Copies of this chain bind each other. A is one copy, B any other.
Amino acid sequence: MLDKIRIILVNTTHPGNIGAAARAMKNMGLGRLYLVAPKKYPDEEAVWRAGHALDVLDNVVVTETVDEAIGDSGLVIGTSARERKIPWPLMTPREVALRAKEEPSKQDIAILFGREDRGLTNEELQKCHIHLNIPTADEYSSLNLAQAVQVVSYELRLAAFGEALPSEKETQNDKRDWDVPLASTEAMELFYAHLEQVLIDIDFHDPKTPRQTMTRLRRLFTRVRMDDMELAMLRGILKKIDKTVGGK
């Protein structure tokens, strides 16, 4: 899907934004950049800001008009910051990305980004099937051009690779990619017994007046879901304490 996307920057003033947009695109796996009548391009600043996305700049297509850049694209999307007089189908970046993914046409999908200071003209926006609006704070709604390209490219990548939704099982305690097997319940019980004995030996814990010491420690170590190596390390610490206490 990503290779069907044309990112079209219209009348860009600052070459740095062109370079930064190229980098944002490549970071997200996009590669087809079109420039409609850029004010200053090629330019060193574009090269500098592109980082390792020089191949995107090498393959850039510069055109005189928006129509040339759109070419035979089957779906045309225009970014729009402001509310326009005439209501138009309006989508968020996420909706656009899902739409792009479902687009049946084999033709390209063109996404237009306007001028730094005033976006796309009404005439340009009327060439678009869909208007795209990036959610922003009311106080300052105008994103830098390359940042807007970044957000849209990011959503396109997530949609393309099905990462748009966090996996249900994904939690911060997820151990699917953990390097060591999780400790078994039996091993944990042996650990608790050992821990309790050590706590008695160092006069921290008295089984006759237990308060909630062991309950709280069990809750702590149950929550963390230790792996075998972590458990072995804690057992090793307990053994060292045993030895120290025994030697006193």
Q: If the complex has contacts A204-B236, A220-B230, A240-B202, are A157 and B137 also in contact, measured as CB distance less than 8 A?
A: yes
How distant is A103 from chain B, measured CB to nearest CB, in Å?
Answer: 12
Q: Which of A5-13, A32-40, A167-175 contacts B (4 or more CB under 8 A)?
A: A167-175
Contact of A241 among B142, B164, B202, B217 (CB under 8 A): B202
Residue among A92, A164, A177 having the largest count of chain B Cβ atoms under 10 Å: A92
How distant is A197 from chain B, measured CB to nearest CB, in Å?
Answer: 13
Q: How many copies are assembled? A: 2
Interface 1/0 per residue, A69-105 and B, CB below 8 Å? 0000000000000000011011110110011000000
CA distance A121 to B237 in the complex (A): 28
CA distance A49 to B145 in the complex (A): 12
**Contacting pair B150 A87 (CB below 8 A):** no
The answer to whether A123 has its CB under 8 Å from any CB of chain B is no
How distant is A139 from chain B, measured CB to nearest CB, in Å?
Answer: 7
CA distance A177 to B169 in the complex (A): 20
Name A98's closest neighbour in chain B (CB-CB): B166
**Contacting pair B216 A230 (CB below 8 A):** yes
The answer to whether A66 has its CB under 8 Å from any CB of chain B is no
CA distance A24 to B148 in the complex (A): 10
Chain B residues, Cβ within 8 Å of A52: 140, 142
**Contacting pair B230 A144 (CB below 8 A):** no
CA distance A95 to B248 in the complex (A): 51
The answer to whether A199 has its CB under 8 Å from any CB of chain B is yes
The answer to whether A154 has its CB under 8 Å from any CB of chain B is yes
How distant is A161 from chain B, measured CB to nearest CB, in Å?
Answer: 7
Q: Which of A57-65, A107-115, A221-229 contacts B (4 or more CB under 8 A)?
A: A221-229
Q: Please, could you name 24 A-B residue pairs with CB atoms under 8 Å apart, sorted by A?
A: A23-B143, A27-B147, A29-B136, A51-B142, A53-B140, A90-B177, A92-B163, A129-B172, A130-B172, A137-B157, A146-B147, A154-B154, A166-B168, A168-B169, A169-B171, A173-B173, A173-B223, A202-B240, A202-B241, A203-B244, A204-B240, A216-B229, A216-B233, A220-B226
